[in-house]
């Protein structure tokens, strides 16, 4: 037996295991970069100059929300400048088609939720209180359910959580979630009066907190 063949025979299986793991990781990274949420790049770009302590001296950032993403609102990503959104549509309370332009002139808190989402159940009463306190001609919580199989399930969900001030908006197609490049449930967007995204929060939040109220009131009070 040659020395070369002996070395190959004596190689530990761990060597092959390590090589396999390295190849698998490299493959995962390649797939993620190709198919991963395209919002990743936008989030990184947007967060760089955005929030911090909220000082206007930070990269010259200004805006009504700067410095207000703190406390209960700390996870909120504040956009350095309003972000264009794709054309969005979903069903209204009566089954009619609604588009984002229907809410032009209002500050909109667009919340995407599902009845099987445990964090959604926890925050729905808070969203309902927010709508009860601030909902009017200048502001609306637009909570869009993405369950499939009809409206009975989301209706029951709202009733169970005591959400009596929220209108039932639905998108059983799931296209809204895809178009917004949402990466978690719930996902909530703060949208200005012209239909541009000015903030995004992935995951649940305490929307009935003083921090949330201050943030929404600042967005409402901002010049159109």
pLDDT 10s per residue in the chain (224 long)? 555 454 445 544 444 443 434 343 333 333 333 233 333 333 333 333 333 333 333 454 567 898 999 999 999 999 999 999 999 999 999 999 999 999 999 999 999 999 999 999 999 999 999 999 999 999 999 999 999 988 899 999 999 999 999 999 999 998 999 999 998 899 999 999 999 999 999 999 999 999 999 999 999 999 87
Domain coordinates of the chain in residue numbers? 3-35, 39-221
How many whole angstroms separate alpha carbon 73 and alpha carbon 15? 48
- Judge contact between 199 and 76, C-beta under 8 A: yes
How many whole angstroms separate alpha carbon 185 and alpha carbon 174? 12
From 84, 85, 98, 203, select the one nearest 142 (Cα to Cα).
98
**pTM check: above 0.75:** no
Residue labelled with tokens 């703060």: 190
- Burial of residue 221, with CB atoms counted within 10 A of its CB: 0-12 exposed, 13-18 middle, 19 or more buried: exposed
DSSP letters, 83-133, are: E-----EEE-TTS-EEEGGGGTTSEEEEEEE-TT-HHHHHHHHHHHHHHHH
Can you read off the two tokens belonging to residue 163?
């959400």
From 202, 58, 178, select the one nearest 117 (Cα to Cα).
202
Could you give the dihedral angle defined by the CA atoms of residues 67, 73, 74 and 76, in that order, rounded to the nearest 10 degrees? -90
Residue 63, pLDDT score = 77
Task: Kindly give the pairing relationship between strand 139-145 and strand 107-113.
Answer: parallel
Residue 109, pLDDT score = 98
Domain 39-221, CATH homologous superfamily name and number: Glutaredoxin (3.40.30.10)
């Amino acid at each position: 037996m040659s020395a070369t063949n002996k070395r190959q025979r004596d190689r530990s299986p761990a060597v092959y295991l390590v090589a396999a793991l390295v190849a698998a990781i490299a493959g995962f990274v390649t797939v993620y970069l190709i198919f991963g949420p395209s919002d990743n790049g936008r989030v990184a770009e947007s967060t760089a100059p955005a929030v911090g302590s909220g000082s206007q001296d930070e990269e010259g950032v200004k805006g009504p929300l700067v410095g207000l993403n703190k406390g209960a609102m700390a996870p909120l990503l504040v956009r350095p400048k309003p972000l264009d959104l794709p054309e969005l549509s979903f069903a209204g309370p009566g089954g009619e088609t609604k588009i984002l332009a229907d809410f032009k002139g209002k500050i909109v808190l667009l919340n995407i939720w599902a009845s099987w989402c445990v964090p959604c159940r926890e925050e729905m009463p808070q969203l309902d209180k927010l709508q009860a306190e601030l909902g009017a001609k200048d502001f609306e919580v637009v909570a869009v359910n993405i369950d499939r199989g009809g409206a009975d399930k989301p209706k029951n969900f709202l009733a169970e959580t005591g959400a009596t001030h929220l209108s039932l908006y639905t998108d059983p197609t799931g296209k809204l979630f895809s178009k917004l490049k949402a990466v978690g449930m719930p996902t909530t967007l703060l949208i200005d009066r012209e239909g541009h995204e000015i903030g995004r929060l992935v995951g649940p939040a305490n929307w009935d907190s003083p921090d949330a109220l201050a943030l929404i009131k600042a967005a409402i009070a901002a010049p159109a």
